[in-house]
Structure 1
């Protein structure tokens, strides 16, 4: 099971970590962020004229929520464990699921002292700010922890305050905070990691297709390789980081934080080391400059194979 160290951050705010270049957001995601907190909701419907009383209040306050995990998410997770589902199904189940974001009280610095009647300085009381908790993934990226039930959050950190939100809203907040991963139920029986492309899809309330199962991406990779005659064929497969391990050691085919896409390059026979390096470097340059590749692929591993004569 992956270990994600805790890193509390004050909320609101966020952005890229100091000294680390921020990933450029696609325009449609930036627009969604720009509209957050505005005159309309994420669906473009105006807030004006809405009632927050009676039946409407339950939509926003989850007043009838018993704190249990969403049944759709549990069913998708069970299907994954049984080998009858995939991680795309788990992410899809989150589209309408309520989750809990952990918030912690953090003691703020003492305020500037006021001057008393006799010129003495009066020390201001310390204040407690609410802090949004983020995690550091093993590869150094920022991750936001989410919990599918109040019980799993309490077990992880008893002092954390559970704030109920829809997963799509949590994903939008993660993007705003510069987090590239969502970590569902860290420290529990099973931790499921949602990678950056799926986080962006959730934030936009759009379906997500894993890069290793994306036919359009596969076609583009083949087209990009056409400019390199030494590459005879390109195949894509799930990467070695797609599976994840439950607390009991059971391996599940999804929810991992490692490389999600394996690209197999079948090269012509007879290439020397310099030739191989030139091909790989050229393809890598073409991949990273393509907007579709940058948006749909979170992490990649490349395997070289000798093409059959």
Structure 2
């Protein structure tokens, strides 16, 4: 056996300058983060909104699934096709609204329910959000197929990644002010209200619905003009685009 310098590793790379960091997840049991689980269950059973789940997710330990994909295959000694190598990779999924989504899990149990062959890699929610945004994923789907399923949309992910607070658009004062300004010069508008169009956080609707109360007896042509004018106005607001993932519009007669 050949000897090598005690100040280098077996490949001849010096030990000097290296540092070893403690694994913060070394004692992980694979169970859900209690604060995140509490926020999810309260959201499902009460009137709490998504912002509390978003806040809990940012600091929680979550699990990233790694899936084995075939790297190389070839013919074995007896003529059978055999796998020569396999790679573990992070997967993304196509969401119902045709966006790229990253599946993430609260626990080993919920991950195994989704795919028994997936291997869990623990990390914190903020790092996951940053990775998702960096890779062009506009959705993070937490616990897909489980009772605790919850979808994070682009604005929430960007806020988590940057360490900012986030609130649902219909309660966000900036969003309310932008909509108010966009409608201010339309004479037929009497009032408006903002609604959470996806209260279950499962991509069952737009993120925000704007309900506009109008003067009576407007014809279809004028309604179309009002819709076009409003949508053009909010689309030019960079801040609105940052804060709102998608918007729906409804006209109702003012009472």
Q: Does the pair score TM above 0.5?
A: yes
1:103 aligns with 2:66: yes
1:138 alignment partner in structure 2: 96
Q: Is the 8 A contact 1:174 1:180 kept in 2?
A: yes
Instruction: Give the unaligned 5+ runs of structure 2.
Output: 1-16, 75-82
Counterpart Cα distance in 2 of 1:151 and 1:136: 23
2:220 alignment partner in structure 1: 273
CA distances 1:238-281 after superposition (whole Å, capped 9, x unpaired): 11x222xxxxxxxxxxx221212110111222321111101101
**TM-superposed deviation, 1:82:** 3.1
1:72 aligns with 2:35: yes
Q: Is the 8 A contact 1:222 1:233 kept in 2?
A: no
Q: Is the 8 A contact 1:147 1:184 kept in 2?
A: yes
Counterpart Cα distance in 1 of 2:199 and 2:172: 15
Counterpart Cα distance in 1 of 2:165 and 2:18: 28
Q: Which secondary structure state, in structure 2, belongs to the residue aligned with residue 127 of structure 1? A: strand
1:256 aligns with 2:202: yes
1:297 aligns with 2:255: no
1:242 aligns with 2:202: no
Counterpart Cα distance in 2 of 1:189 and 1:217: 31
Aligned residues: 230
**TM-superposed deviation, 1:215:** 1.6
Segments of 4+ moved more than 4 angstroms: none
1:170 alignment partner in structure 2: 128
**TM-superposed deviation, 1:130:** 2.4
CA change 1:50–1:300 in 2 (3 A) is farther
**TM-superposed deviation, 1:219:** 1.5
Q: Is the 8 A contact 2:126 2:160 kept in 1?
A: yes
Q: Which moved more, 1:129-138 or 1:178-187?
A: 129-138
Q: Which has the larger radius of gyration?
A: 2
**TM-superposed deviation, 1:84:** 5.1
Counterpart Cα distance in 2 of 1:261 and 1:87: 13
Counterpart Cα distance in 2 of 1:101 and 1:288: 34
How high is the TM-score relative to the length of structure 2?
0.84
How high is the TM-score relative to the length of structure 1?
0.70
Q: Is the 8 A contact 1:263 1:301 kept in 2?
A: yes
1:151 alignment partner in structure 2: 109
Counterpart Cα distance in 1 of 2:223 and 2:213: 11
CA distances 1:66-86 after superposition (whole Å, capped 9, x unpaired): 111001011112222331522
**TM-superposed deviation, 1:139:** 1.4
Counterpart Cα distance in 2 of 1:50 and 1:91: 36
